[in-house]
Structure 1
Amino acid sequence: MNEALEQISQIFLDLGASIALPILITLFGVALGQKFPKAFRAGVMIGIGFIGIGLIVGLLFGQVGPAAQGLAARFNVNLDIVDVGWPASAAIAFGSQVGAVAIPVLLLLNVLLLAAGLTKTLNIDLWNYWHFAFIGGLVAATTGNFLMGIAVACIAMLLTLALADWAAPKIQAHYDYPDISFPHGTSAAYALIAAPLNWVFDRIPGFNKLKADPDSIQKRFGIFGESMILGFGIGLLLGLAGYGLDEPRADIIAILGLGINLAAVMVLLPRMVAILMEGLIPISDAARAFVTKRLPGREFYIGLDSAIVIGQPAVIATSLILVPVTLLTAIALAPLGNRVLPLVDLATIPFIVALMVPIFRGNIVRSVVGGAIVIGAGLFIATALAPSITKVAENAGFQNETGGLISSLVDGANPMTGMFYLFGNMGWLGIAGLAVASLAFAVWVRIRGKARVADKAKVAA
């Protein structure tokens, strides 16, 4: 049984998002009542969208990586834990028994929570269930208890759904995506953290009056405020910081190349997201029809990958600025105990800030400051979890070519990962505490949502 589960997990991991997700979405669409050709087309289109996004994110890392390493080398700081990115996290997730049963178990849990009225989100982002499996797999491996891992994965799903419900109104209004929420394991927790940060920013004289959303920037700076030109400028600055001018001819070419490539990212990423959305919309409509028929009169959201918003100008601009800021933050925090060198997951910073940007009302300056704070704190989480992540990743079959400790920004530095790892390793008492707290938060979100609906009805009357 164990070997069969591990083989299923490994096949799923080997397929990757661009293959596994079309298969899952096609099956999901048929289960929702769609005809096979329509479900299959949607699945293939989603796969194409993920390939396109992957190519652009790969371009981003291919260009930013060498400049990032050059910047770190200039400061001569020894950061011995390498950020190998989300592939290590995915290896833990799908290389474990928890990962093998995660999708059916968590999907069933989501349906039960939706039927019970404890969430408004139907999470059709099946591939990214691996984030919950990662947390559960990490706890299962370190405690040696499979049931504990499953319990933690389920609680992580519950909390993430509640976070998605809580953040949905602001995110829907900002991105103009009605009836959509984002129960994405990478992004959801950061939206909650952004709320108190934004409260503080609103009370800092001068800072609270600074308008730095893309529209305001473009109005003020004209063509130099366009996202494409902004990406070019950020690329030049990052290139200058990373490469310097030690060899003028070669370095100038590299700097200009980085500038034009980051400008390309600003233009191409939104178009790849549009392709992804073309595939998601039919599945979203089918899911809405399915739930409406069985739960008439109930308001609900379709839960999607935050990939569909990373192409927004404020998100991309914030992410590009945060690349050098993240590196400088890691270097500055080294004397205080950080040992992680951000590297592979520099290209996934858009997913970290995607749901923070709406909370900051699209203000790029606030988003950069808030992003630097959460990433800086996350580096200490990633440092603390590195020994466990390294051990579990290698046991799951991840090829650790660094020869030392590894971690990641996406899940290794995520505050939810740190919290669940800490309480999960306290045994069943800690897990029960997590369950009670997560359930209480979900109930509070639902009560708060009903009160908001009632207030709107009074105003309309």
Structure 2
Amino acid sequence: MSVINAVIGLGAPVFMPILFLVIGLVFGLGVGKAFKAGMLVGVGFVGVNLVIGFLLDSLSGATKLMVDRLGLNLTVLDVGWGTASTIGWGSPLVPVVVVVFLALNLLLLVLGITKTVDIDIFNYWIFLLVGAVAFSASGSFWVGVGACVAAFVLALVVGDLIAPFVQKQYNLKGVSFPHFTCLNFVPIGIAVNWAVERTPGLRRIDFNPESISKRFGVLGEPLVIGLVLGVLMGFGAGYGPGEAVILGVDVAASMFILPKMIDILIEGLTTVRDGAEIRLKKWFPNREFYFGMDTALLIGEPSVLATGVLLIPIALLLAFVLPGNKVLPFVDLPSLMFLMALVTPFCKRNMFRMLITGTLALILIMYAGSDIAPWFTGAAATSGITIPDGANEITNLVGGATTPIGWLIIRLAALF
């Protein structure tokens, strides 16, 4: 665990190049080619992290002011995915769960139950968070471990099932996304798409980046959409015209630059994937394998970014009007775009359908967060997290514990 924690602690920009270098050498790419591929992945992650961090920082000030202006007085504070990941990695479950995950992934590959080699090790925190809250709810260490394993296996299996659709939509081969948080909302997206397709009038509404661009010309380009959304966010936060325009330019820049950074990462990924595919077909002629990756690879899609920004005011409105809600959306508001990353192919990149899906997802998240807040807060205390001043209890929006299946696993754990 000391070695694993030390390597993960270096961060994706260092950890991923090392990992892809090793994978490239295993599959016979040669030192030079494997090294270059690994460095491209690392450079890509640096670029993606810089742009996403810049975007989230730009939006965070506006979202804080929007919360303050609404005067919401709710008792469960959203502390964000960063704190939630610390809770997961700080859980007593970590030494057992990480070893179990690595062994279980290998076993499931050998048995043919999954095609995914999950190399997205940092995001193990999502499974660990579910287990940590289940541990808090049940008081049983092994129930917590079981909760982690249940979430992990579900993510691998469902990730395999939707991989062909995601690969086609994003033009990515040989990749899957066993991201437990995002996978939870795919069934909602499928149901919304089915319902809208069968509703006269609604099925004719098509807000995707191409149709908007075709109808409005340059005004429909992602650059302009980002500018408009950013300016509207600024005005909603009470910014003056100058500050609102700056925020608009920041959002527009992020929407334009992020796909370029992702292209660099994918170039390195593709090199390793192609080499691995050749070797794996020789070793296992009748098998197909995927690399399990982070959904950050998908955030550059304009429909995902635009929908995520639009969900911020919707989340605040829902917090105000939902009866029985206790959750105050806060730190995770700029990260809501991640909820839509895997929904996009099943809603046909139609932002109208994605907004409906995202709204339903937020309703479920807030009620789940309200319900499990005492156990979530207990898990934080176990991991050494200090509760912020003025908050009675805590939760987060973009994490596994407050998803529908995560909530169900925790609720079942509480029965033991």
**Cα distance change, pair 28–396 in 1 and its aligned pair in 2 (3 A):** farther
1:218 equivalenced with 2:206 (yes/no): no
1:301 equivalenced with 2:290 (yes/no): yes
Give me the whole-angstrom Cα distance separating, in 2, the residues matched to 1:169 and 1:103. Answer: 28
Structure 2 match to 1:90: 85
Structure 2, unaligned stretches of length 5 or more? none
1:272-324 Cα shifts (integer Å, max 9, x gaps): 21222233223433543454343221233332221111101111111121122
Decide which of 385, 403, 417 is 2:406's aligned counterpart. 417
Question: Structure 1 length as normaliser, TM-score?
Answer: 0.82
**Cα distance change, pair 339–40 in 1 and its aligned pair in 2 (3 A):** farther
Aligned-residue offset at 1:215: 0.7
Matched position secondary structure for 1:344: coil
1:364 equivalenced with 2:351 (yes/no): yes
**Aligned Cα RMSD in Å?**
2.4
1:245-292 Cα shifts (integer Å, max 9, x gaps): xxxxxx121111111111111111112212222332234335434543
Structure 1 match to 2:62: 67
1:381-425 Cα shifts (integer Å, max 9, x gaps): 112222222222232133444452221111143223212111223
1:239 equivalenced with 2:234 (yes/no): yes
Matched position secondary structure for 2:184: helix
Q: Retained in 2: the 8 A contact 1:190–1:356?
A: yes
Aligned-residue offset at 1:221: 0.6
Decide which of 253, 260, 268 is 2:249's aligned counterpart. 260
Q: Which region of structure 1 is more displaced relative to structure 2, 143-152 or 251-260?
A: 143-152
Aligned-residue offset at 1:122: 2.6
Structure 1 match to 2:340: 353
Counterpart code for 1:308: L
Matched position secondary structure for 2:332: helix
**Cα distance change, pair 401–28 in 1 and its aligned pair in 2 (3 A):** farther
Q: Retained in 2: the 8 A contact 1:327–1:342?
A: yes
Structure 2 match to 1:435: none
Aligned-residue offset at 1:196: 1.3
Give me the whole-angstrom Cα distance separating, in 2, the residues matched to 1:291 and 1:98. Answer: 34
1:431-457 Cα shifts (integer Å, max 9, x gaps): xxxxxxxxxxxxxxxxxxxxxxxxxxx
Decide which of 265, 269, 277 is 2:266's aligned counterpart. 277
Q: Give identity over the alignment, percent.
A: 35
Structure 2 match to 1:383: 370
Aligned-residue offset at 1:209: 1.1
Structure 1 match to 2:138: 143
1:13-51 Cα shifts (integer Å, max 9, x gaps): 644444444444444555555555554544443333333
Counterpart code for 1:171: V
Question: Structure 2 length as normaliser, TM-score?
Answer: 0.91
Matched position secondary structure for 2:180: coil
What are the residue-to-residue correspondences of 1:307-326 with 2, within 5 Å?
307-326=296-315
1:210-239 Cα shifts (integer Å, max 9, x gaps): 121111110001011000100000111111
Matched position secondary structure for 2:242: helix
Give me the whole-angstrom Cα distance separating, in 2, the residues matched to 1:386 and 1:44. Answer: 41
Structure 1 match to 2:147: 152
1:407 equivalenced with 2:402 (yes/no): no
Give me the whole-angstrom Cα distance separating, in 2, the residues matched to 1:384 and 1:287. Answer: 45
**Cα distance change, pair 25–133 in 1 and its aligned pair in 2 (3 A):** farther
Decide which of 116, 134, 139 is 1:121's aligned counterpart. 116
**Cα distance change, pair 112–419 in 1 and its aligned pair in 2 (3 A):** same
Decide which of 47, 51, 56 is 2:51's aligned counterpart. 56
Q: Retained in 1: the 8 A contact 2:76–2:373?
A: yes
Give me the whole-angstrom Cα distance separating, in 1, the residues matched to 2:268 and 2:339. Answer: 23
Give me the whole-angstrom Cα distance separating, in 2, the residues matched to 1:141 and 1:206. Answer: 47
Give me the whole-angstrom Cα distance separating, in 2, the residues matched to 1:36 and 1:106. Answer: 29
Matched position secondary structure for 1:406: strand
Give me the whole-angstrom Cα distance separating, in 1, the residues matched to 2:279 and 2:99. Answer: 18
Give me the whole-angstrom Cα distance separating, in 1, the residues matched to 2:3 and 2:288. Answer: 36
Give me the whole-angstrom Cα distance separating, in 2, the residues matched to 1:282 and 1:103. Answer: 28
Q: Retained in 1: the 8 A contact 2:39–2:268?
A: yes
Counterpart code for 2:284: L
Decide which of 174, 183, 197 is 2:169's aligned counterpart. 174
Q: Retained in 1: the 8 A contact 2:364–2:403?
A: no
Matched position secondary structure for 2:397: coil
Q: Retained in 2: the 8 A contact 1:72–1:331?
A: no
